[in-house]
Structure 1
Amino acid sequence: MSDTPFGFGLPPEEPEDGDEGKKKDQQSGGGQDPSNPFGFGLPGGFGGPGGDNPLAAMFGSLNPTDLGAAFQQLGQMLSYEGGPVNWDMAKQIARQTVSQGTADGVKDASVGPAERNAVQEAVRLADLWLDDVTSLPSGAGTAVAWSRAEWVEATLPAWQELVDPVAERVGTAMGDVLPEEMQAMAGPLIGMMRSMGGAMFGTQIGQAVGVLAGEVVGSTDIGLPLSPAGKAALLPVNIETFGKDLGVPKEEVRLYLALREAAHQRLFAHVPWLRSHLYGAVDGYARGIKVDTAKLEDVVGQFDPQNPEQLQDALQQGMFQPEDTPEQKAALARLETALALVEGWVDAVVHAAAKPRLGSADALRETLRRRRASGGPAEQTFATLIGLELRPRRLRDASRLWASLTDARGIDGRDALWSHPDMLPTASDLDDPDGFVHREQLDFSELDKMLGEAADKPDLRKKDDDKGDDAE
């Protein structure tokens, strides 16, 4: 460890005349680079001046006389004192990203009355068609047409629930990269580093949400319930872009996308455990992600507050690694299977409703399958930032299984599987759909009924009372 506390340079000596004085001043740490007045971002990081002392790498040439000014500047920049992600900043950045428009030059715009009416009519008609192909009733209490900015505002609470657990791990890791003997002395710095992480995570998440707002066509594109319950939402400006080069009438494109949105809403509204099941799968996977502390040490050691983009770039390159353990593999399989089952059911049900009525049903189905399988730039950004891909890798397998279940058990028998999570197909069932389709299923509703009837039998209650009397 450096002999100088916290690795700060010694006070500058009185200036001397000639080259010797200049050399001595530079060697003592008194000379400051005018382009870097606070001495941050020295080359070498953790391997540079200060050895294993990360504070020396950050503050190695800082004059004590400038210490107050340096911390004042940092305090102003890192004044956030909330959770692991600065969500106020995330919303601001997302709105700014939306206002800039997409790469193809399409700008966001307020939704007019005609577009709003068209979306409401499409969702209403979609619900009528879905009534013929599923036993789950309508889940869309209202149908809304959103601008991109409105999508950002409405979905940020769901993103917070998804991202915060992983971001919390980064905030903790930022303190853990300091040597143990330094942590007690560096309490304020640890707090600033965590605030810095919250600010930078907010910036990156905001950018990703803003870009995603330019890609999505509804509130359920990623297979998770992002919008408020019972609210089906479509984005007219993005639907226009999506259907631009498909050669399909825009009314058919809108109606097909309304079918998908309305089908998702039926699942999320009438399968009460599904939301917690999906978010629990995400959380279970996130708990097994570890932070690349070596990369984080480099980021902390070379951080320059005059160049915050440096940390943003590091976060964007990713510092999360799934742990190669049986538990983590099981969590990943559970998450991928859950996403595939939701998307597969929606795919099968929507195709059954659209195929007899829309000539473009097959083409639109294949386009959306490929779109979900590949993921857009924003989804890839989230995968890098939080180590998580929200793509249903086995969508086609799941869709085939749901279609086979419809043929073998009918609509009611297929949809009855959503009554309990233990009745759903597993990852191995997707490998052998025929085996699952023809397997005997335990009817949990009948079991509950039997248990209820047994509890109400008078002779059983009498026996319980007699046992109580004997005990006395």
Structure 2
Amino acid sequence: MTDSAHDFGYDSAHDPDAAPDGLTTPQSRELSVRPGASSAAYIDYEFAKWTGRTVVKAGPQVTSDEAAEIVADLRDAAAEAEEPVAETSRLRAPEGAPPPLVVDRAGWISANVDSFKAMIDPVIDKLLAKRKVPESPTALAIGGKVTGAEMGGLLAYLSSKILGQYDLAPGGTPQLLLVAPNVVEVERKLEVDPRDFRRWVAMHEETHRVQFTAVPWLREHLIARSQSLAVDLAPTPEEIGKRLDQLARNLPEVMSSGEGLGQLFATPEQKARIAELTAVMSLLEGHADVVMDDVGPSIIPTVDEIRRKFNARRSSAVGADRLLRKLLGIEAKMRQYRDGAIFVRAVTDELGRDGFNAVWSSPDTLPKPTEILDPSAWVRRVHG
């Protein structure tokens, strides 16, 4: 969120690397990755951050005083969400779990570049193992800039769409991020009560923080499955030409399905694994949506109005924005909220909150792809 005088930075209240002016520089939040990681030779991550910061859209105009008030209110909203979410979900984040950070779009980009770096390293290792002729330093430098620019541009686009995110931070410290300019932009577009909207968003994002901290195995499970799938999907040099041919022939199918480019190149076995991950993401997003609404009007008086207007916004993309959403699979993500919420409500209605919470027992109790659409099948398998 920017104006001529002020730009939001990382919330420095809980960040030991905060810069002297109270903002955290993107470089100060660099994540540690495993020794010997080689992706930095092929992707210029600092250039990705620079590109993202350079091309990202400006947020809504605010004064420095307004920005400070908004950040403070978002911090308050995050703190106020902890107890209602714990009571409603019957899950509680352990003591010492990192608190949320309020960030701007550039800060969100920087955090996600760091996380991508740790996630991509195994993919680069696979590509290097298959490469027969080493690249020259000049080619590496140019290629690194190109891929860095591509990553930065993509994240710049996404950075204006995200209200909050639980950053799994492979190889680093996971943390909840609240993207201040996007929250303000949406609350203004929807013409909803700002205080209620910020607390409604905080309820959803706090639920994600609880999911990944109260369920200790969940983060590593998702990271491991995602990294393994990314490695398998990465093309070898010999496969690149075939992939381009697939893209030319099947792009209309991708556009009509909204599943994203990843589905285009996947084998049947890989598509099954994608479906498994999608089922888990549907659970997480649907659960967060249900909790944020179930907190109720006693805490968020205008919750029904917010939900009605927000749902209408989710389906309102047109033109180039809708095209990008289809290519990136964002259309499919919208379905995750709907399908996951239906699953959570159906199971909770039948078994109560404690019966539903058996879903967090182990990876084996997570819903399978068919069960997200058939909650009774999950109940039969897990509860007998």
1:271 corresponds to which residue? Answer: 215
Q: Select 2:338's aligned residue among 396, 399, 402.
A: 396
1:308 corresponds to which residue? Answer: none
Distance of aligned partners of 1:439 and 1:412 in 2 relative to their CA distance in 1, 3 Å threshold: same
Equivalent residue of 2:101, what SS? strand
What does residue range 388-467 of structure 1 map to in structure 2 within 5 Å?
391=333, 393-441=335-383
Distance 2:120 2:325 in 1: 9
Q: Select 2:241's aligned residue among 282, 290, 294.
A: 294
Distance of aligned partners of 1:112 and 1:210 in 2 relative to their CA distance in 1, 3 Å threshold: same
Distance 1:389 1:159 in 2: 22
Q: Select 2:278's aligned residue among 317, 336, 340.
A: 336
1:117 corresponds to which residue? Answer: 72
Q: Deviations over 1:357-393 (max 9, x none)?
A: 43432343355556667889899769868x9988263
Equivalent residue of 2:188, what SS? coil
How many pairs are equivalent? 326
1:131 corresponds to which residue? Answer: 86
Equivalent residue of 1:394, what SS? helix
What does residue range 246-265 of structure 1 map to in structure 2 within 5 Å?
246-265=190-209
Distance of aligned partners of 1:425 and 1:293 in 2 relative to their CA distance in 1, 3 Å threshold: closer
1:88 corresponds to which residue? Answer: 46
Query: In the TM superposition, what is the alpha-carbon distance from 1:114 to its structure 2 partner?
Result: 2.2
Query: In the TM superposition, what is the alpha-carbon distance from 1:107 to its structure 2 partner?
Result: 8.6
Distance of aligned partners of 1:81 and 1:229 in 2 relative to their CA distance in 1, 3 Å threshold: closer
Q: Deviations over 1:213-239 (max 9, x none)?
A: 23322234xxx6359757443233221
Distance of aligned partners of 1:424 and 1:434 in 2 relative to their CA distance in 1, 3 Å threshold: same
Distance of aligned partners of 1:391 and 1:131 in 2 relative to their CA distance in 1, 3 Å threshold: same
Distance 1:170 1:322 in 2: 20
1:101 maps to a residue whose letter is A
Unmatched segments (≥5 aa) in structure 1: 1-79, 177-182, 299-317, 443-472
What does residue range 360-399 of structure 1 map to in structure 2 within 5 Å?
360-366=302-308, 368=310, 391=333, 393-399=335-341
The 8 Å contact of residues 285 and 336 in structure 2, kept in 1 or not, is answered as no
The 8 Å contact of residues 290 and 320 in structure 1, kept in 2 or not, is answered as no
Distance 1:83 1:108 in 2: 41
Query: In the TM superposition, what is the alpha-carbon distance from 1:253 to its structure 2 partner?
Result: 1.0
1:199 maps to a residue whose letter is K
Query: In the TM superposition, what is the alpha-carbon distance from 1:166 to its structure 2 partner?
Result: 4.7
1:463 corresponds to which residue? Answer: none
Q: Select 1:205's aligned residue among 130, 138, 151.
A: 151
Distance 1:165 1:389 in 2: 28
Q: Which moved more, 1:119-128 or 1:340-349?
A: 119-128
Distance 1:272 1:418 in 2: 9
Q: TM-score normalised to the size of structure 2?
A: 0.70
Query: In the TM superposition, what is the alpha-carbon distance from 1:254 to its structure 2 partner?
Result: 0.7
Q: Select 1:240's aligned residue among 174, 184, 187.
A: 184
1:456 corresponds to which residue? Answer: none
1:225 corresponds to which residue? Answer: 168
Distance 1:368 1:249 in 2: 13
Unmatched segments (≥5 aa) in structure 2: 1-37, 246-259
The 8 Å contact of residues 380 and 389 in structure 1, kept in 2 or not, is answered as no
1:151 paired to 2:108: yes
Distance 1:167 1:384 in 2: 23
Equivalent residue of 2:177, what SS? strand
Query: In the TM superposition, what is the alpha-carbon distance from 1:281 to its structure 2 partner?
Result: 3.1
Q: Deviations over 1:256-278 (max 9, x none)?
A: 11111111100011111211222
2:366 maps to a residue whose letter is L
Distance 2:174 2:116 in 1: 18
What does residue range 319-330 of structure 1 map to in structure 2 within 5 Å?
322-330=264-272
The 8 Å contact of residues 84 and 168 in structure 1, kept in 2 or not, is answered as no
Share of identical aligned residues, percent?
Answer: 25
Equivalent residue of 1:219, what SS? strand
Report which structure shows greater RCO (CA 8 Å, sep ≥6): 2
Instruction: Indicate the RMSD between aligned Cα atoms, in angstroms.
Output: 4.0
Distance 1:81 1:143 in 2: 29
The 8 Å contact of residues 142 and 230 in structure 1, kept in 2 or not, is answered as no
Distance 1:358 1:319 in 2: 38
Query: In the TM superposition, what is the alpha-carbon distance from 1:427 to its structure 2 partner?
Result: 0.9
Query: In the TM superposition, what is the alpha-carbon distance from 1:158 to its structure 2 partner?
Result: 1.6
Q: Deviations over 1:394-433 (max 9, x none)?
A: 3322212211222222222222320211012111112321
The 8 Å contact of residues 288 and 322 in structure 1, kept in 2 or not, is answered as no
1:160 paired to 2:107: no
